[in-house]
């Protein structure tokens, strides 16, 4: 076999890619596995979005290559969405870039701004892809602590003590995954000022702001944000469209244009029908969010009960589509989740998947029907 690139030597296969193979094997052996580990929405997308996708297949040019920046009307609707939902003014022409899912945006942003040897501030715990992509590009992840004692917020005094001379990007993610913590107005002001002081690009990954959250926020609403910030967002969680792969990046023209230079060499545009459906989804009324969160609220109460049955504690003020639960003292996350899988055929995620500060915690997903969650409770 031809030797793989050096960049792969420090990057492992994504945890869920490996674990889901194990879960699939157990199912094939007749085990009745309940999957509460994955954040893949099981609810339906907006009906009008699905219908528009179907109807658009007959449009002239529907099957041709599409523009790298997406349809003008999609960019316009993203700008309208940000104005209506976040009170943020964006230029649809220069400050919005549709993506094939926000996960690709993590790679494209990193490719646009990082050189080998550059450093990146990565939250611990946090989404594992931030660290993995950094390593793939032969840059160095510098983990910064998020802890329950500080409400899962960064300690800027500790950050200022670091040698930041090589840091190019700082990843933040609020509402936070996996903990569900929300950021304060003070935090956004502080992180923007921090980025300006040290010439660091602050990237807020913001796909969970409408799930069980009464006050969605965008970093772009804060003073001077466009000087040093980008924001990723997605239709995956907000509109149950994970498999459609529709994301977006917003920020200043210069930052967006840099990412576009990478993206235009990596794909050939988003499928026309998906763009048309996405436009319709972004137009959803407040009733969509009320209905969505009504379902998740009922599921969350059941997951709280399941967590209690497993002797875990949790924060009722957390938001998003996961429950971050603390284990009893002295229990290890992976040992605990392996035991729950073996004893009860329930798959939940160990906190250590998200970093060393996840030790002693587990994550439950709300992406399962109520009857399935009730069955999980009954098993425990």
pLDDT digits (tens, 9 = 90+) for 143-202: 999 999 999 999 999 999 999 999 999 999 999 999 999 999 999 999 999 999 999 999
Task: Check whether 16 has a pLDDT greater than 70.
Answer: no
Q: What is the mean pLDDT of the chain?
A: 94
pLDDT of residue 19 exceeding 80, the answer is no
% of the chain residues with pLDDT over 70:
99
Give the three-state DSSP class for 115. Answer: coil
Cα–Cα dist 294/271, whole Å? 32
Which residues pair with residue 172 across a beta bridge? 204
Tell me the C-alpha distance between 204 and 196, whole Å.
Answer: 15
Average pLDDT over residues 126-149: 96
For the stretch 22-58, what's the b/e string if a residue is b when 16 or more beta carbons lie within 10 angstroms of its beta carbon? Answer: ebeebeeeeeebbbbbbbbbeeebbeebbebbeebee
Residue 3 has pLDDT above 90, yes or no: no
Statement: residue 376 has pLDDT above 90: yes
pLDDT of residue 14: 67
Q: Residues 269-300: pLDDT tens digits?
A: 999 999 999 999 999 999 999 999 999 999 99
CA–CA gap between residue 117 and residue 355 (Å, rounded): 22
CA separation for the pair 340, 334 (Å, rounded): 10
- What are 50-85's pLDDT values in tens digits? 999 999 999 998 899 998 999 999 999 999 999 999
Burial (Cβ within 10 Å: 0-12, 13-18, ≥19) of residue 121: buried
Residue 28's pLDDT is: 79
> What does the alpha-carbon distance between residue 279 and residue 71 come to, in Å, rounded to a whole number?
10
Nearest-5° angle of CA 97, CA 101, CA 105? Answer: 60
Q: Per-residue pLDDT tens for 209-266? A: 999 998 999 999 999 999 999 999 999 999 999 999 999 999 999 999 999 999 999 9
Query: How confident is the model over 87-99, as pLDDT tens digits?
Result: 999 999 999 999 9
Question: What 3-state DSSP class applies to 259?
Answer: helix
Q: Which residues contact 246 (CB under 8 A, 6 or more apart)?
A: 98, 99, 100, 101, 234, 235, 236, 270, 274, 275, 278
Is 348 within 8 Å of 335 (Cβ atoms)?
no
pLDDT tens-digit map of 205-225: 999 999 999 899 999 999 999
Question: Using 50, 70 and 90 to split pLDDT, how confident is the model at 26?
Answer: confident
pLDDT higher than 70, residue 49: yes
Q: How many residues does the chain have?
A: 380
- pLDDT at residue 263 in the model: 95
Whether 134 has a pLDDT exceeding 90, the answer reads yes
Q: Give residue 10's pLDDT band: very low, low, confident or very high (50, 70, 90).
A: confident
Q: How confident is the model at residue 2 (pLDDT cuts 50, 70, 90)?
A: confident
The region that residue 229 occupies, defined by phi over 0 for left and psi between -120 and 50 for alpha, beta otherwise, is beta
The phi-psi region of residue 24 (left if phi > 0; otherwise alpha if psi is between -120 and 50; otherwise beta) is alpha
Pair 248, 239: CB distance under 8 Å: no
Strand order in the sheet with 322-326: 313-314, 322-326, 361-365, 349-350
**What is the helix, strand, coil percentage profile of the chain, to 5?**
45, 15, 40
Residue 359 has pLDDT above 90, yes or no: yes
Q: How far is CA 154 from CA 128, 307, 319, in A?
A: 17, 27, 18
């Amino acid at each position: 076999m031809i030797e793989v690139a050096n960049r792969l030597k420090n990057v492992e296969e994504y945890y869920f890619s490996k674990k889901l193979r194990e879960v699939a094997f157990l199912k094939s052996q007749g085990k009745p596995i309940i999957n509460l580990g994955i954040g893949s929405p099981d609810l339906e997308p907006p009906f009008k979005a699905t219908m528009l996708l179907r109807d658009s297949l007959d449009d002239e040019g529907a099957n041709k290559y599409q523009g790298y920046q997406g349809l003008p009307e999609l960019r316009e609707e993203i700008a309208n969405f940000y104005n209506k939902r976040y009170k943020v003014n964006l230029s649809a022409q220069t400050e919005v870039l549709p993506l094939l899912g926000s996960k690709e945006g993590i790679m494209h942003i990193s490719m646009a701004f990082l050189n080998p040897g550059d450093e990146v501030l990565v939250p611990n715990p946090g989404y594992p892809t931030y660290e993995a992509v950094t390593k793939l590009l032969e840059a160095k992840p510098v983990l910064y602590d998020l802890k329950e004692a500080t409400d899962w917020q960064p300690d800027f005094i500790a950050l200022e003590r670091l040698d930041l001379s090589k840091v190019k990007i700082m990843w933040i993610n609020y509402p936070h995954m996996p903990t569900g913590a929300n950021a304060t107005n003070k935090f956004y002001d502080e992180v923007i000022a921090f980025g300006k002081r040290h010439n660091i690009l602050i990237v807020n990954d913001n796909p969970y702001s409408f799930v069980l959250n009464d006050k969605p926020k965008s970093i772009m609403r804060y003073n001077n944000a466009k000087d040093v910030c980008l924001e990723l967002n997605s239709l995956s969680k907000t509109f149950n469209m994970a498999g459609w792969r529709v994301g977006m990046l917003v920020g200043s023209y210069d930052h967006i244009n840099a990412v576009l230079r990478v993206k235009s060499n990596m794909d050939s545009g988003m499928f026309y029908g998906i763009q048309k459906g996405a436009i319709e989804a972004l137009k959803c009324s407040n009733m969509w969010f009320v209905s969505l969160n009504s379902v998740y609220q009922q599921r969350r109460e059941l997951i709280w009960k399941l967590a209690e049955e497993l002797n875990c504690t949790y924060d009722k003020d957390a938001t998003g589509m996961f429950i971050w639960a603390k284990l009893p003292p002295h229990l290890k996350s992976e040992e605990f989740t392996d035991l729950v899988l073996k004893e009860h055929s329930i798959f939940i995620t160990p906190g250590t998947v998200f970093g060393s500060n996840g030790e002693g915690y587990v994550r439950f997903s709300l992406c399962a029907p109520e009857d399935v969650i009730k069955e999980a409770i009954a098993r425990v």
